[in-house]
Every structure is written in C-alpha cells, then in structure tokens.
Amino acid sequence: MKTSRQQHSSTFSEDLDHHYLELLKEKAPYERCKRELLELEKHWLQKAKTAAQRLAVQRVIANTLLTEAYGDRMPWKEFGRWLRRLRQLGFRDLGMRVHVTCLYVQSLHLFPRQAREAWEMLEDAERRVRRLRRENPLREEHTEAITHARKAARVPPPPPSTGTSNRAR
C-alpha cells in the first residue's frame, strides 16, 4: 500500500482517509488496522515539520484506533491504552472529547470497573458543552451525542461517593 499511498495523497488527512477506507472495505481485523495505522503515523511523523503537526497526527491516529477498539469490542487493555494516549496528548477540541467520552461510557459493559471514571468524564464533557453559547449549533449536536450515550450505556452511573470531607459539621 505504500506505493498507492504516495501516488494518491498529498496530505495526512487524504492519506488517512484513503488508507482507512481500504481497511474498512477489506473488513480488516483490528490487529491489522492497528499495525497499518501505526505505520501510517510513523510515516507522517517523519514528514511533519513542526511539533503541532506531529501532535495532530498522533491525536488523529489514537482517536481512530480508540474508535476501532470500541467497534471491535476490545478489552480494557487495548481500549484503555488508546484512551490514556488521547488524554496524554490532549483533546484537539470539544468534539473529540465528547466523541471519546461517549465511546467510553457506551463500552463500560466490557470493563465495568472503569464506571466511575467514565461517568465523571461524561459529566465533565457535559459541563463543557453547556458553556457553549445556546446559538452555537455544536452545543445541540454534542448534547444529543451525550444524551444518546447515557441512554445506550449498559452500566449505570455509580452512586456519588460519600467521603468524610463532604459531610456537614
């Protein structure tokens, strides 16, 4: 695929789209997707001229791999790896944060021990969405995604923790 990659695309986004569509058409298993996307990342990290370009490549690849891990119902070891990676890299924007958080909450039936963290992350994303102006169309879009994730989640939010520091004196 390297020769077709070099012939058909001039930007990272074009290359990723072309490469990823090929993998989807072939119904490639997760391990192959992961291997080829990491090769693509390596290729574009070498071509990147700035730290910002490298960061963008890393974020997009990690987000794509997290989405694939979700779609293939991967266990926490794999899903968590990409979630941690994205959190380390930082989310590109609120849309990416909402997307990742919604996948996390909807996959909790595979790793219910992560419920508290996932639901806290969803609440944080929801607070951030509410800060958007009401007329911003992204506010409604993100709110709908969060509402859907809440309904689709198979693991309910845990009860609030009752620490001694929150008690009235």
Q: What is the pTM of this model?
A: 0.87
At a CB cut-off of 8 Å and minimum separation 6, what does 66 contact?
79, 82, 83, 86, 100, 103
At a CB cut-off of 8 Å and minimum separation 6, what does 95 contact?
138, 142
Quick: pLDDT tens for 78-94. 999 999 999 999 999 99
pLDDT of residue 161: 74
Domain locations along the chain: 6-90, 92-154
At a CB cut-off of 8 Å and minimum separation 6, what does 78 contact?
30, 69
Quick: pLDDT tens for 10-67. 899 999 999 999 999 999 999 999 999 999 999 999 999 999 999 999 999 999 999 9
Quick: pLDDT tens for 44-60. 999 999 999 999 999 99
Quick: pLDDT tens for 97-113. 999 999 999 999 999 99
